Amino acid sequence: MRRPRTKKTSSLAPGLLKESIPHLLLPYRDRLYDDPTPCPECGSEKRNRYDKQPRIFATIITQKGFQQIRVWVKRYVCKDCGRIYASRSPFYPGCLYGNLVIDLCLFLSAANPFCRVEALLQQWGLQVDRDTVRNYVKRFGERARSAAGTRIDQSCVAVNLVRLLFDLASVEELAARMPGEVFQDVADETYPAVKGAKKSMRDENTERTLQGQPPVKYPQSHTLATCYEARHRFFLSVLVTPTAFNTMLADALCAPARGCVGSVRDGSTCYRGEHIQCANHKARRLIARDPEYRRLKREATCREQVRDYCLRYYSNVKEKEAAKAAQRYPDLVQDGVFVGALSTNSMEGGNWRIKYSLAVPYKDPALLEARLLLIAVSDSVKTFKAGRPQETFAQVHGCFAYSTIMAQTSRPERVGTGMGSGLGHGPGDGSDQSARQGGHTEIFALWLEQSIQRAAKKQAEKEVTTTTTD
């Protein structure tokens, strides 16, 4: 095991931080935790004292070097089944340091890469190695997936943030708890590059240029999809996968949004059901075929002419979409005006905030998902927003705490081989990577075959239309 390098706090570090945190942890030294629980094996309360075990609550940085804050945890032996188990204590299962230290690591990891978290803690007089921070974040992701996974058949593919933030299965239950509130969701996907993929793409394009072949346009990337509540500003679900986005993944992503009205999508055929097409995406698709726009691009004497025409065109499209949406979703109409979202702009902004907070690329999808969950929770639960103190909806009405996730033990994910129950909610921690990326289940194979048939039918209809037009 590699030991941490010797560290010292910077002379520029504020004394309020580098002195208060070690002094806050020093009173824990040699504390004894003697609060027995029923036997976790059989539930019996008949027990005998077994021994007391030393645990490292934290490691602080002093002028003399590292100093460990040790506590003692009592252990007991069950009289009925012989199981040896520990007392209640401030430690999460499978974690070395105390819960205060781990919660601080998770909080900082929402906005900083792991090496930066280690550097920040060093300035505050606390020693936690970068690899240890990474392990804590990954375990958070696994346990969050176990507690709030959204599954297809027996494979967990997304994480339900409504479950994490409010302890509810979907927005439908949240709306029932809060009568009078109207919720509207927006879903979109983005594709952050895999670590090292951009360099590999540049090298490959150099070779392709020498051979006279067209260059590769995009590097290898993860599929990162999110669903966002546009009116109350919190994330509903997140999905990270190395495979291409498809209809079944879109259904899993949007499952927690059940109960929202006026869902907005970008026009992708992966999204099913009734929804509003994003006015921005629709205007771009329509204006690309507009004869007047094409003529202006060729003959305009200045860019302002093209820009003014585009603004008028977009305004017309937006007005038409607002009129349609007002008729279909009266809950989003106030004083005769549609007040809901008509575009995926809020989700585009959410994706940019996520990528900005990620800061660095990742190769492991599980690690990317874990950091994404921390970022999404941090973005949803705020007390300062838009340049002023402001509590968000999830901050006021939510019940999220790192301890509710980290105190759980991960359960292995199972992969079904027969026809499953389809989309649903169930356990799955994603710890078995082969389970997440294994062979297709029967229901997925059936969906894939139907998709191929639909694509072939559309292509045949398109060819017939083209022939008739000619």
- Whether residue 133 lies inside any domain: the answer is no
Residue 469's pLDDT is 58
Question: 123 and 169, same structural domain?
Answer: no
In this structure, the strands spanning 333-334 and 223-229 are unpaired
How far are the Cα atoms of 27, 122, 349 from residue 322, in angstroms, in the given order?
61, 53, 21
pLDDT exceeding 90 applies to what percent of the chain? 64
For residue 25, what are the β-bridge partners? none
- Are 357 and 252 in a shared domain? yes
Q: Across residues 41-62, what is the average pLDDT?
A: 91
- The reply to whether 197 and 241 lie within a common domain is yes
**269, pLDDT greater than 60:** yes
Same domain flag for 64 and 155: no
Instruction: Say which range, 157-166, 191-200, 377-386, 426-435, has the weakest mean pLDDT.
Output: 426-435
Q: Kindly report the pTM of this predicted structure.
A: 0.83
Round to the nearest angstrom and report the end-to-end CA distance of the chain.
Answer: 73
Q: Tell me: do 240 and 373 sit in the same domain.
A: yes
Find where tokens 């299965």 sit.
169
Between strands 388-389 and 384-385, the pairing is antiparallel
Is the pLDDT score of 429 beyond 50?
no
pLDDT of residue 439: 41
- Which pLDDT band holds residue 58 (cuts at 50, 70, 90)? very high
Q: In the predicted model, is pLDDT for residue 436 greater than 70?
A: no
- What pLDDT does residue 435 have? 37
Above 60 in pLDDT, residue 441?
no
Amino acid 228: pLDDT: 95
Looking at the fold, whether 161 and 35 belong to one and the same domain comes out as: no
Compute the CA torsion angle 31, 33, 34, 40 (nearest 10 deg): -160
- How far apart are alpha carbons 140 and 151 in whole angstroms? 18
Checking if the pLDDT of 443 tops 60, the result is: no
Residue 430 has pLDDT above 70, yes or no: no
pLDDT at 220: 92
Chain segment 292-309, per-residue pLDDT in tens: 999 998 888 888 999 999
Assigned token pair, 134: 């990474």
Q: What is the pLDDT of residue 204?
A: 93
Please determine, for residue 334, whether its predicted confidence score (pLDDT) is greater than 70. yes
Amino acid making up residue 256: P
Nearest to 237 by CA among 122, 347, 336: 347
- Looking at the structure, tell me whether residues 372 and 227 fall in a common domain: yes
**Pick from 143, 135, 185, 137: which is nearest to 164 by CA?**
143
CB atoms within 10 A of CB 354: 20
For residue 301, tell me if it sits in a domain: no
Percent of the chain with pLDDT over 70: 88
Give the Cα separation of 343 and 286 in Å (integer): 15
152 within 8 A of 415, measured Cβ to Cβ: no
- Number of independent structural domains in the chain: 3
- DSSP 8-state secondary structure symbol assigned to residue 343: S
State the Cα–Cα distance between residues 139 and 145, nearest whole angstrom: 10
The mean of the pLDDT values for the chain is 86
Return the closest-CA partner of residue 296 out of 311, 318, 278: 311
Closest among 126, 104, 103, 187 to 4, alpha carbons compared? 126
Q: Looking at the structure, do residues 361 and 239 belong to the same domain, yes or no? A: yes
In the predicted model, is pLDDT for residue 103 greater than 90?
Answer: yes
Q: What is the pLDDT of residue 128?
A: 94
The rounded distance, in Å, linking the Cα atoms of 41 and 83 is 7
Q: Give the pairing type, strands 65-78 and 32-33.
A: parallel
Collapsing DSSP to helix, strand or coil, 233 comes out as coil
pLDDT at 15: 80
pLDDT reported for residue 4: 78
Does the residue 428 lie in any domain? no
Could you read off the pLDDT of 361-415 as tens digits, one per residue?
999 999 999 999 999 999 999 998 888 899 999 999 999 999 999 998 754 443 3
> Phi and psi at residue 190, in whole multiples of 5°?
-140, 170
Summarize the confidence of residues 178-183 as an average pLDDT.
Answer: 92
Domain that holds residue 85: 15-128
CA angle 327–332–333, rounded 5-degree value: 65
Same domain, 377 and 462: no
Asked if residue 235 has pLDDT above 50, the reply is yes
